[in-house]
């Protein structure tokens, strides 16, 4: 006689059983601590709870998930392409974790349906789906640890939803697109390293993009070039620059 796991039992009796089952159906595992997942899908527009005077939303988890996702994808690509140069690996990682890509994945996998947001948000938050996807990765890391998160990201996300060969052949240069837009709109765009995190091989750079000297978006990566690319992609999404020149995305498998 098979004895059900504790997490499977929770999925039946827990008041959050619908969310637990949704995570099981989408990502293939039963969550343990459900709280970080509930937080991961709470957009700031739906934040009502306060801790030490701060509204609780998925923004902190998004920050954590971004770092975990970037590290896992970097490790995956490094091992998959042992003879390719740093520039190729940086470009591939940027394509895999781009905001447009994460938005598309969130919709395709059904993650978007789990997001709790204000009904007034409408289309004001174009990156809401991708943000929630990153926040989920942060929740997964807190619940199950890095190695389990790595397994889910590689087997349930990359191997299932990406055609890497097709992705290699797509050309997406968001930095050039942003600069072209700035010249066309007569805007001043600047990339600035605002923080360095860690030491040695694990060192990461935080790059901030400013438009007319106003901070718009920031991103972190293991190279300044990579952080600039990711930050530029975020700015293009936020300012809807990609609407004018749609960014190609990877061809989904299946």
Residues in CB range of 152: below 8 A, 6 or more apart: 27, 28, 29, 140, 144
Task: Check: CB of residue 156 under 8 Å from CB of residue 150.
Answer: no
Q: Are strands 189-197 and 204-211 parallel, antiparallel or unpaired?
A: antiparallel
Residues in CB range of 137: below 8 A, 6 or more apart: 64, 65, 66, 68, 69, 149, 153
Q: Which of 34, 42, 57, 61 is nearest to 116 (CA)?
A: 42
Handedness of CA 106, 151, 250, 174 (dihedral sign): positive
168 carries an active-site annotation:
no
How many C-alpha atoms does 56 have within 13 Å on its Cβ side? 12
Question: Which residues are paired to 208 by β-bridges?
Answer: 192, 218
Choose the catalytic residue: 62, 91, 131, 134. Answer: 134
Q: Are strands 50-51 and 189-197 parallel, antiparallel or unpaired?
A: unpaired
66 carries an active-site annotation:
yes
Choose the catalytic residue: 62, 66, 143, 228. Answer: 66
- Where does residue 241 rank: exposed (0-12), middle (13-18), buried (19+ CB within 10 A)? buried
Which of the residues are catalytic? 66, 134
């Amino acid at each position: 006689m098979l004895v059900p796991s504790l997490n499977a039992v929770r999925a039946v009796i827990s008041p959050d059983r619908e969310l637990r089952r949704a995570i099981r159906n989408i990502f293939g595992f039963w969550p343990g601590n459900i709280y970080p997942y509930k937080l991961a899908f709470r957009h700031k527009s739906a934040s009502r709870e306060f801790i030490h005077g701060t509204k609780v939303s998925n923004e902190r988890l998004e920050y954590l998930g971004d770092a975990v996702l970037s590290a896992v994808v970097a490790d995956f690509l490094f091992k998959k392409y042992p003879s390719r140069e740093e520039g190729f690996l940086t470009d591939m990682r940027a394509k895999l974790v781009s905001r447009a890509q994460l938005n598309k994945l969130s919709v395709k996998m059904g993650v978007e349906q789990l997001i709790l947001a204000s009904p007034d948000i409408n289309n004001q938050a174009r990156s809401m789906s991708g943000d929630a996807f990153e926040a989920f990765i942060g929740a997964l890391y807190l619940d199950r640890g890095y190695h389990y998160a790595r397994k889910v990201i590689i087997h349930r996300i990359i191997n299932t939803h990406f055609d890497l060969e097709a992705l290699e052949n797509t050309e997406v240069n968001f930095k050039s697109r942003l600069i072209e837009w700035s010249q066309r709109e007569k805007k001043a765009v600047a990339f600035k390293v605002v923080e360095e995190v860690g030491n040695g091989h694990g060192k990461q750079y935080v790059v901030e993009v400013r438009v007319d000297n106003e901070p718009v978006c920031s991103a972190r990566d293991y190279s300044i070039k990579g952080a600039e690319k990711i930050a530029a992609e975020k700015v293009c999404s936020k300012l809807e620059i990609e609407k004018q020149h749609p960014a190609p995305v990877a061809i989904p498998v299946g």
